[in-house]
Structure 1
Amino acid sequence: MSGVPREFGRLLRAEWTKFRTVRGWTAAAIAAALVTVGLGLFSAAGSHSSCGTGPVEVACPPPPTAPTGEAVNDKFYFVHRTLTGDGAITVRLTSMTGRIRKPDVKPGERNLVAGVVPWAKAGVMIKESTRQGAPYAAVMMTGEHGVRMQHDFTRDVAGRHRDVSERSPLWLRLTRSGGTLTGYESADGRTWTRIGTASPAGLPRSVRIGMFATSPGDLTVTRADLGGTVAAERFTETTGEFDQVTVVGTAPGGWRHDDIGVTIGPDGAPHHPGRAVRSGGAFAVTGVGDIGPATEGMRAEAPLAGAPAGLVLVIVVAVLFVTAEYRHGLIRTTLLAAPRRGRALAAKALTAGLATFAVALPAATAAFVLGGRILRANGNAVLPVPPLTQVRVVVGIAVLFALAAVLALALGALLRRGVAAVITAIAAIVVPHIVATTSVLPESAAGWLLTVTPAAAFAVQQSVPEYPQMLGHYSPLAGFYPLPPLAGLGVLAGYAALALGLAALRLRRADA
């Protein structure tokens, strides 16, 4: 057994010597890296954006970020007081109503209809401060998803109650004890059910506690004339009616009203502002916006747009690495030096994969980092993502390139015809991705392609995940893939392993 590693190491050195001594192969591998970087930077350089501040156009501000680094939406109306140390807020929610803008029936006449969107929210909140992106926890009623406890923008726990009305009001409570926030719900204000707990990082002794309301846009997705889909989002607002408000532990001072994250129009006035009306001990709080992760906007992986073109060159090099030996009759010499044919093929595949990874990793890094800087310099607001996600995207693209090289080499060894193997590999890896991420196919067909073909591996570049508690246009066209990143890579790895196995089987049966 000790001789196996030595034999395989010898085969690896021999294959690496073959690869690096053929200048055309090394030049093409380097060209693949340059194409990936060049097209990515060219795409970034062509993307410009600006935002208006009155008559002046300025760079668009980046979205607020959560303490963990994700881009977030943090826009709502907040009626609050200062809480120092431990305390609690208890309210009775008697109704939740709203308005939704629909397409205008008559020109110039706004078509506002009564209703609430599925993820409209009204409830109680404890938040570090009124700064956007500040840690928080909230207990709320939603439009169609019942009671929820949400915190730090990405965490969501479902409660029991499904609706609220004047005849069937709902009590909500949020308490603080040290660094732990606990949410409760009740149907009568006497018997309470705990929903969940949260421990927002870095929560100071003095925080804000109160009632809030918010409502994301009404999302509609329609089929386009030439295929694909078109997503549109229209204005909505929601109003929560609160009474029997009890706050324990607050500092001296009255209620404050803040329209967190309100958009200021060109005339300097708030655009779609929220509001609150107090009548005795009752509050009607109306809000517009959302609290949660941001999924719409320029994505951090946008500078990797050159990857499909770079993959084409990688595929060509990997196929030629094996088919050239068949074309020139050198395969028998290789097999004479390595009687165990499966090991010879494995050494060749590993060499192709490692060589490709070695050129793809710096290329992906350069495209991602430099392209991101160019996008921001051009005024684009790129959605920030945590550092570990950035590493996963960059390293994942390099692994995708390496696996694609292995699959292409395996197809070359199986088909033994360069043109046929190149066309097959491109049709399996590159074409499905291009077709699925353009407005050509219905979303269901695009998702199917990116699930069952090797192109599923492109999911590794998705930097913003799909959140079940957020209504969004989660489609390949919008940068979302049907499989998780590692699962997508697994599909490509499975195809590569299958093709290698079939190629090894054929190699054992015939040299040429």
Structure 2
Amino acid sequence: MTPRFRQALAFEWIKFRSVRSTVWTTAVMAVLPVPGAVFVAATESLQPDDTVLGGSLTIAVPALMLAAVVGALVMCGEYGSGTIRTTFAAVPRRGTVLAAKAVLVAVLLSALALPSVTAAYLVGDALLDDSYAQGDPMPALLGVAGAFAVAGLLGLALGTLIRHAAGAVTAVVAGLVLPSMLGPLFGDAERWVAGISPTAALEKLVQSSDATAEAVGSLGAWPSLLLVTGYTALALLAAAALLRRRDV
């Protein structure tokens, strides 16, 4: 890393941990999967064809949404408070600012998600009875952590494009939820419409019984995650291009 980028990354870390909304949202995201696994086991709500891995990570979907919200807040919070002007004065290269935010979001979310979802799986494995199939936790848990990072980057891209916290959060949550809700309206194309969401990639990775080809697309778990990563990268490139053209 160049000295300029390291300095920008240090600035972003200081700002991140200084804003309560991002800190608390990130904390809830990291904590949520474990009590979710306990709840699922206590209520005995799994289907007979579900797996221990899928059941333990049932609440990973709302946690993934929070990861996307964190990404949006990292950029929109500065526009809302007006500190974005100070940021651009300190680091005039706006692409460097966005890159520093992207690295921070990706590394932090994946680093928090991996132990969180691993702990949730271990708790579920201890509490659920042996009648359920185990599932294959590795390397699926690594992919789940990657999905959290990708969701956060998608939120960051939309936050940069929209600049308004409420609008960006609404857009990113809609992007995670609406494909599976609207998929049935598209007939035979349902599997493709529903399959483009990060939540679809997550459900495939955790081997949920709900992750059927009809519901979340016929792509495998890793190709699905790769697809989501690809259009997230394009969204970040569009955000970077627009950021350079704006006055602020």
The residue identity in structure 2 corresponding to 1:395 is L
User: Which residue of 27, 49, 53 corresponds with 1:297?
Assistant: 49
User: How far apart, in 1, do the equivalents of 2:43 and 2:17 lie?
Assistant: 36
Superposed, which structure 2 residues align to 1:146-295 within 5 Å? none
Superposed, which structure 2 residues align to 1:379-398 within 5 Å? 380-385=130-135, 389-398=136-145
User: Which residue of 204, 211, 233 corresponds with 1:497?
Assistant: 233
Match of 1:425 in 2: 172
Match of 1:486 in 2: 222
Shift of 1:442: 8.3
Is 1:407 aligned to 2:154, yes or no?
Answer: yes
Q: 1:47 to 1:476 in 2, by over 3 A?
A: farther
Q: 1:493 to 1:401 in 2, by over 3 A?
A: same
User: Is contact 1:456-1:492 (8 Å) kept?
Assistant: no
Shift of 1:361: 1.1
Question: Secondary structure of the residue that 1:391 maps to in structure 2?
Answer: coil
Match of 1:450 in 2: 194
Uncovered stretches (5+) of structure 2, i.e. residues with no partner: none
Match of 2:93 in 1: 340
User: How far apart, in 2, do the equivalents of 1:343 and 1:484 lie?
Assistant: 34
The residue identity in structure 2 corresponding to 1:320 is L
Shift of 1:18: 1.1
Q: 1:446 to 1:369 in 2, by over 3 A?
A: farther
Q: 1:366-398 CA deviation, whole Å, 9 max, x = no partner?
A: 11111122112xxx512134xxx4122212111
Q: 1:29 to 1:48 in 2, by over 3 A?
A: closer
Question: Secondary structure of the residue that 2:131 maps to in structure 1?
Answer: coil
User: How far apart, in 2, do the equivalents of 1:36 and 1:339 lie?
Assistant: 39
User: How far apart, in 2, do the equivalents of 1:321 and 1:48 lie?
Assistant: 36
User: How far apart, in 2, do the equivalents of 1:476 and 1:366 lie?
Assistant: 30
Match of 2:207 in 1: 462
User: Is contact 2:55-2:208 (8 Å) kept?
Assistant: no
User: Is contact 1:356-1:405 (8 Å) kept?
Assistant: yes
Shift of 1:37: 2.2
Match of 2:5 in 1: 8
Q: 1:156-188 CA deviation, whole Å, 9 max, x = no partner?
A: xxxxxxxxxxxxxxxxxxxxxxxxxxxxxxxxx
Percent identity among equivalent residues?
Answer: 35
User: How far apart, in 1, do the equivalents of 2:201 and 2:147 lie?
Assistant: 6
Q: 1:442 to 1:375 in 2, by over 3 A?
A: farther
TM-score, normalized by length of structure 1? 0.44
User: How far apart, in 2, do the equivalents of 1:381 and 1:444 lie?
Assistant: 35
More strand by percentage: 1
Match of 2:117 in 1: 364
More helix by percentage: 2
Shift of 1:456: 4.1
Q: 1:462-493 CA deviation, whole Å, 9 max, x = no partner?
A: 389xxxxxxxx95456xx75112221111211
User: How far apart, in 2, do the equivalents of 1:365 and 1:433 lie?
Assistant: 26
User: How far apart, in 2, do the equivalents of 1:18 and 1:325 lie?
Assistant: 9
Question: Secondary structure of the residue that 2:139 maps to in structure 1?
Answer: helix
User: How far apart, in 2, do the equivalents of 1:334 and 1:316 lie?
Assistant: 21
Match of 1:41 in 2: 38
Q: 1:463 to 1:48 in 2, by over 3 A?
A: closer
Shift of 1:19: 0.9
Match of 2:60 in 1: 307
User: How far apart, in 2, do the equivalents of 1:474 and 1:311 lie?
Assistant: 20
User: How far apart, in 2, do the equivalents of 1:330 and 1:474 lie?
Assistant: 45
User: How far apart, in 2, do the equivalents of 1:366 and 1:434 lie?
Assistant: 30
Shift of 1:435: 6.5
Q: 1:44 to 1:441 in 2, by over 3 A?
A: farther
User: Is contact 2:150-2:232 (8 Å) kept?
Assistant: yes
Q: 1:509 to 1:23 in 2, by over 3 A?
A: same
Root mean square deviation, CA, Å: 2.6
Q: Which has the higher contact order (CA 8 A, sep 6+)?
A: 2
TM-score, normalized by length of structure 2? 0.87
User: Is contact 1:368-1:394 (8 Å) kept?
Assistant: no
User: How far apart, in 2, do the equivalents of 1:356 and 1:364 lie?
Assistant: 12
Q: 1:452 to 1:312 in 2, by over 3 A?
A: closer
User: How far apart, in 1, do the equivalents of 2:221 and 2:27 lie?
Assistant: 26
Report which of the two structures shows the higher radius of gyration computed on alpha carbons: 1
The residue identity in structure 2 corresponding to 1:408 is G
User: Is contact 2:30-2:113 (8 Å) kept?
Assistant: yes
Q: 1:348 to 1:382 in 2, by over 3 A?
A: same
Question: Secondary structure of the residue that 1:301 maps to in structure 2?
Answer: helix
Q: 1:255-301 CA deviation, whole Å, 9 max, x = no partner?
A: xxxxxxxxxxxxxxxxxxxxxxxxxxxxxxxxxxxxxxxxx822132
Is 1:316 aligned to 2:63, yes or no?
Answer: no
User: How far apart, in 1, do the equivalents of 2:187 and 2:147 lie?
Assistant: 24
The residue identity in structure 1 corresponding to 2:121 is F
Uncovered stretches (5+) of structure 1, i.e. residues with no partner: 50-295, 465-472
